[in-house]
Chain A
């Protein structure tokens, strides 16, 4: 039983990892960023490339990927998103285009492949990130087998969630973000630099995607379209949890991850996925604002 729960927990942690950044960019800022998966992918490539050229291990790649994805997110905000606040569907469409562009840039090695220049670690092929061996060797504590890499992901996810909670609810920056979230005009009237705060918030959410990318790279293939399949799951989690509610996102990922895990063990993975989608549809129909939405809306 504990093993099943652990499988569910590790599924939950992956969902949360993706959804955490989205709960910031979508939940707090009303941007449906379809390129979020590509920010995840960029994080993963950062880990691969820094491994090849800087010989950096996973742990140092985490902050680096955060910075790289955050920088890309910042650029994305300034070039595209900034013009689209309040037009949620347009953010979806524009970032869909951005996602195509980012994927293709990695595939074409930023266009250098046209000139016959190849960068190791980029291109259309499959890449991989080295994981320190002590993270892949399971061990036992008091007869309970521990899977170090999964546990590491869970640990990082918990820390990131706490950090995000702290930033959002215990710092003045977080207060400003939440003010903007509820009413940008009034926030601006109160002297909050809405543009700057929005840009930083978006960059932070993007940076979280970068960290997710590094951790994902530890157990799945790194390739240009690796992020595309994850982003939809992330959105489902955020919506089920309730847009704008960090707690909701955490609980929704826990719920959906456990449902997936339990059904996967009891029946099979395919049925489990189908059940998860069914549950998502039912929850949104039942509570369109999600499980933990603001009351004020």
Chain B
């Protein structure tokens, strides 16, 4: 790696010096008194539905920081790029931000597929990526700060609560067909067994698919008493609607979801979700002055008095502040300095206290369970007392006393 980066620099230097040719499209350098950062979400395409709100939250945080005097007296200048809901575009825009614009950090992306597509750019160019979305874990990168939940932060209280408090023991696990739902299912199964429940099925549907007739019919016939849903995206809406259309109700057979957020609830019509449950570290319904003020500011920022806030949106917001604190602590905005300084940073986010784990660069978050009401808002009925340690390898036996991912990197012998 090192020798290559050197040879790569040498090559470009040689070309530059020997030919002294002017660059056709010169790279930009930040003006004095400014720090440029990348903001990379889908502004177009199917994912823009959610990703635009993440970009807005990021930009709002930047605006607030700048209004309060910036970072070390310097203004943050966002360079916004469009991932266009396509991994190919994500990859290209990430390399533009890192290699051409030479920003020290990029905030971005929602799906694992887009994160995976940009990751090589950040790791091979040693840059920093701040990723705000809950994801499947199983990553230990020195170049990514993860501020969304990992499976143990969504499931470790959820599954026991379903079994012990709701009294439901027979799980039907259903998800979209990709890694996140499958990893969630894996963690769930461990927890279900630990707490004396059982699962009757583990089924998947194509991402974006909206024909739920057969699946809901299977659920009906399976004899389960609770549905654990890891369904993602617009499929969620079709799922809940079909669920009700086939005569299933959440008071008898509740859907307990890990991905169904305020956005999907609003999109499906609240009556279809009323009575169901979701586990997330953040809900719009969190009843604190900080959160109320956050929602207020967000709504006025985007000019929409009905705009909803949700977990990934909130993470998009607070991760900028964590970054700011790191830059201030480091005194300089270089990727290496940011990585060192971000470790252990704490911030009072709308959902409460969040802390970046110094070992794996994931974030301590507080798991909460909400039940959706007929008004489309969740009522928080269960919450941890304090933030939970993120463990991206929990499905493989990671535990607080036996960490796989440490500051030194992944100990793959433990896998």
> Are B210 and A116 in contact, with the CB atoms below 8 A?
no
Question: Does B218 touch A at the CB level, under 8 Å?
Answer: yes
Instruction: From known contacts A107-B48, A118-B303, infer whether A136 and B244 are also in contact, taking CB-CB under 8 Å.
Output: yes
Cβ contact within 8 Å between A270 and B213: no
Question: Is the pair A261, B237 in contact by a Cβ cutoff of 8 Å?
Answer: no
A264 to B212, CA, bound (A): 10
If A7-B217, A269-B204, A269-B211 are given as contacts, then 20 extra A-B residue pairs at C-beta distance below 8 Å, sorted by A number, are A107-B44, A125-B49, A126-B234, A126-B264, A126-B266, A218-B241, A220-B238, A220-B241, A221-B210, A221-B234, A221-B268, A222-B267, A229-B208, A264-B213, A265-B217, A268-B203, A269-B206, A269-B209, A270-B206, A273-B206
Top 10 nearest A-B pairs (CB, nearest first) are A126-B267, A264-B214, A138-B247, A221-B234, A220-B210, A221-B237, A7-B213, A220-B238, A219-B241, A225-B46
Residues of B within 8 A of A133 (CB): 271
**Residue B45 CB within 8 A of the other chain:** yes
Chain B residues with CB under 8 Å of A221's CB are 210, 234, 237-238, 267-268
User: Residue A147 contacts which of B46, B177, B245, B268 (CB distance < 8 angstroms)?
Assistant: B245
Q: Is B36 an interface residue (CB 8 A)?
A: no
Number of A-B contacts (CB under 8 A): 105
Residue B314, interface by CB 8 Å: no
Interface string of B309-339 (1 = CB under 8 A from A): 0000000000000000000000000000000
**Known: A10-B213, A219-B242, A269-B214. Contact between A126 and B263, CB under 8 A?**
yes
Contacts of A128 in B (CB 8 A): 237, 266-269
Q: Is B52 an interface residue (CB 8 A)?
A: yes
User: Nearest Cβ distance between residue A3 and chain B, in whole angstroms?
Assistant: 6
Given A7-B213, A126-B264, A221-B238, does the pair A149, B245 have CB atoms closer than 8 Å?
Answer: yes
Inter-chain CA distance A221–B44, complex, in Å, is 17
The bracket for how many chain A residues form the interface is 35 or more
Minimum distance in angstroms from A194 CB to a CB of chain B: 39
Closest residue of A by beta carbon distance from B308: A125
Q: Which of A1-39 contact B (CB under 8 A)?
A: 3-4, 7, 10-11, 14
Q: Which of B205, B234, B237, B247 contacts A270 (CB 8 A)?
A: B205
Cross-interface CB contact of B214 among A148, A149, A229, A261, cutoff 8 Å: A261
| Per-position 1/0 for A254-275, Cβ under 8 A of B | 0000001100110011101100
Q: Shortest distance in angstroms between B54's beta carbon and chain A's nearest beta carbon?
A: 12
Contact with B along A118-152 (1 / 0, CB 8 A): 10100011111011010011100000010111100
Q: How distant is the Cα of A116 from the Cα of B49 in the complex, in angstroms?
A: 18
**B304 located at the interface, meaning its Cβ lies under 8 Å from any Cβ of chain A in the complex:** yes
B253-288: CB near A (< 8 Å → 1, else 0) gives 000000000011011110100000000000000000
Are A124 and B206 interface neighbours, CB within 8 A?
A: no
A107–B48 alpha-carbon span in the complex (Å):
9
In angstroms, how far is the closest chain A Cβ from the Cβ of B82? 12
Contact, CB under 8 Å: A124 / B205: no
Asked if B245 contacts A219 (CB within 8 A), the reply is yes
**B214 and A147 contact, CB distance less than 8 A:** no
- B164 interface hit (Cβ, 8 Å): no
In the complex, which range does the number of interface residues on chain B fall in? 35 or more
Question: What residues of B have a CB within 8 angstroms of the CB of A273 in the complex?
Answer: 206, 209
- With both chains docked as a complex, state the minimum distance between the C-beta of B51 and any C-beta of chain A, in angstroms: 9
A-B residue pairs in contact (CB < 8 Å), sample of 9: A130-B269, A147-B246, A148-B245, A222-B267, A223-B267, A229-B208, A264-B213, A270-B204, A270-B205
Contact of B205 with A269 in the complex, beta carbons under 8 Å:
yes
Q: Closest B residue to A146 by CB, please name it.
A: B247
B215 at the interface (CB under 8 A from A): yes
Would you call A124 and B49 a contact (CB within 8 A)?
yes
Q: Is the CB of B267 within 8 A of A104?
A: no
Q: What residue in chain A is nearest B52 (Cβ atoms)?
A: A124
Q: How far is the CA of A53 from the CA of B269 in the complex (A)?
A: 17
Given the known A-B contacts A220-B234, A273-B206, are A265 and B214 also in contact in the complex, defined by CB atoms under 8 Å? Answer: yes
Annotate A228-254 by CB proximity to B: 1 below 8 A, 0 otherwise: 010000000000000000000000000
Of chain A, the residue at the smallest CB distance from B51 is A124
A139 to B: closest C-beta gap in Å: 9
- The interface residues of chain A lying within 8 Å CB-to-CB of B208 are 229
Taking the nearest CB of chain A, how far is it from the CB of B90, in angstroms?
A: 17
In Å, the complex CA distance between A131 and B241 comes to 10
Cβ–Cβ contact B211 & A11, under 8 A: yes
Complex: how many Å from CA A187 to CA B44?
Answer: 44
Expressed in whole angstroms, the Cα–Cα distance for A222 and B269 within the complex equals 11
Q: How far is the CA of A14 from the CA of B46 in the complex (A)?
A: 22
Q: A219-B245, A265-B217 are in contact. Are A270 and B177 (CB under 8 A)?
A: yes
Give chain A residues whose Cβ lies under 8 Å from the Cβ of B44.
Answer: 104, 107
Report whether B49 and A138 are in contact in the complex, using a CB–CB cutoff of 8 Å.
no
Chain A residues positioned under 8 Å from B52 (CB to CB): 124
Whole-angstrom CA separation of A233 from B210 in the bound complex: 13
Cβ contact within 8 Å between A268 and B204: yes
Determine how close the nearest CB of chain A comes to the CB of B360; give it in whole angstroms. 33
Which residues 184-210 in A have Cβ within 8 Å of B in the complex?
none
- Complexed CA–CA distance, A10 and B215 (Å): 13
CB interface residues, B 210-239, toward A, < 8 Å: 210-211, 213-215, 217-218, 234, 237-238
